[in-house]
C-alpha cells in the first residue's frame, strides 16, 4: 500500500490517529475532520491530511473522513488487521508491568510469553502468563509466530539476549534496557530509556531557571 518507504515520523503518528478514532467511534461519531483530529492530537490539520494522503485519498472533500473506514485503513496500513503476538523478555518490575497492565487492555496486541533468567522468578504467574526460562523462547516464537519482543533486561545482558532473539526470528524490538543494542538492518529497534528521558527533561527545568534570572 505505501507508495514508497514511509517516513518514520508518519508511522509514529498513525497509532495516535487510530486511538482517537477508536474513542470517537465508541461515541458513535461517523465523520471526522482533520481539524478534529488536530485538536485531539496536537498535530496540525495539514500534517494529518498529508500523513493520510501519503497512503491514499481516504477522505471526502467538503465533508471529512468516515471514521470506521479510516480506522480500517489505518489498521491495515499499520498491520493490526491481524492479531499480533509479542513476548516480554525480562520479568523485572518493568516487564511485569507490561505483561499485565498495558498490553492486555489493548485489543490488537497480545503478550504470549514472559521470560527471565532469574531461577526465583521462573514459574511465577503474571496475569495469565507463567514466567519461563529463556530457553523456552524458540518454542513460544514458533507456536505463536512471534516477531516482536519487549526487552526489559538489565543493560549488561541486553546484547546477548538480543542476539538470541534475532537468531530465533524476532524482527522488531522494543528496548527498555538502558544501553545501545546492535542489530542487523533487517531488525527494527525502538529505544525507550527512562534515564535519558528524565535527564533531558531536567535540562529544561534548569535552563528555565537560568533564563528567569
Residues lying near a copy of itself in the complex (CB under 8 A) are found at: 2, 6, 8, 11-12, 14-16, 18-19, 40-42, 77-80, 84, 86, 92-94, 96-98, 100-103, 106, 108-109, 147-148, 150, 171-174, 178, 180, 186, 188, 190, 192, 194-208
Q: Which of 73, 17, 10 is nearest to 40 (CA)?
A: 17
The conformation of residue 108, written as its DSSP 8-state character, comes to S
Q: How far apart are CA 153 and CA 197, in angstroms?
A: 18
Cβ closer to a copy of itself: 42 or 62? 42
Q: Which does residue 41 touch among DNA, a copy of itself, none (CB within 5 to 8 A, set by kind)?
A: a copy of itself
Least Å from the CB of residue 76 to DNA: 16
Side-chain-side CA neighbours of residue 113 (13 Å): 25
Q: Which partner in DNA, a copy of itself, none is near 171 (CB below 5 to 8 A by kind)? A: a copy of itself
Map the footprint of DNA across residues 9-68, applying CB under 7 A. 9-10, 32-35, 43-47, 49-50, 52-53, 57-65
The SS3 assignment for 5 reads coil
Amino acid at each position: 500500500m505505501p507508495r514508497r518507504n514511509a517516513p518514520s515520523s508518519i508511522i509514529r503518528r498513525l497509532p495516535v490517529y487510530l486511538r482517537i478514532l477508536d474513542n470517537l467511534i465508541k461515541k458513535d461519531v461517523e465523520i471526522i475532520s482533520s481539524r478534529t483530529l488536530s485538536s485531539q492530537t496536537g498535530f496540525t490539520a495539514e500534517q494529518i491530511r498529508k500523513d493520510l494522503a501519503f497512503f491514499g485519498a481516504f477522505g471526502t472533500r467538503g465533508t471529512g473522513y468516515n471514521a470506521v473506514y479510516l480506522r480500517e485503513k489505518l489498521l491495515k496500513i499499520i498491520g493490526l488487521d491481524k492479531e499480533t503476538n509479542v513476548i516480554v523478555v525480562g520479568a523485572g518490575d518493568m516487564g511485569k508491568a507490561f505483561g499485565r497492565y498495558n498490553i492486555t487492555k489493548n485489543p490488537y496486541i497480545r503478550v504470549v510469553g514472559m521470560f527471565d533468567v532469574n531461577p526465583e522468578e521462573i514459574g511465577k504467574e503474571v496475569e495469565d502468563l507463567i514466567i519461563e526460562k529463556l530457553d523456552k523462547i524458540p518454542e513460544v516464537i514458533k507456536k505463536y509466530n512471534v516477531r516482536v519482543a519487549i526487552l526489559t533486561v538489565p543493560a549488561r545482558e541486553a546484547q546477548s539476549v538480543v542476539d538470541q532473539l534475532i537468531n530465533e526470528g524476532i524482527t522488531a524490538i522494543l528496548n527498555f534496557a538502558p544501553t545501545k543494542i546492535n542489530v542487523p538492518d533487517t531488525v527494527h529497534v525502538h529505544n525507550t530509556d527512562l534515564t535519558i528521558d528524565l535527564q533531558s527533561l531536567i535540562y529544561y527545568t534548569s535552563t528555565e531557571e537560568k533564563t528567569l534570572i
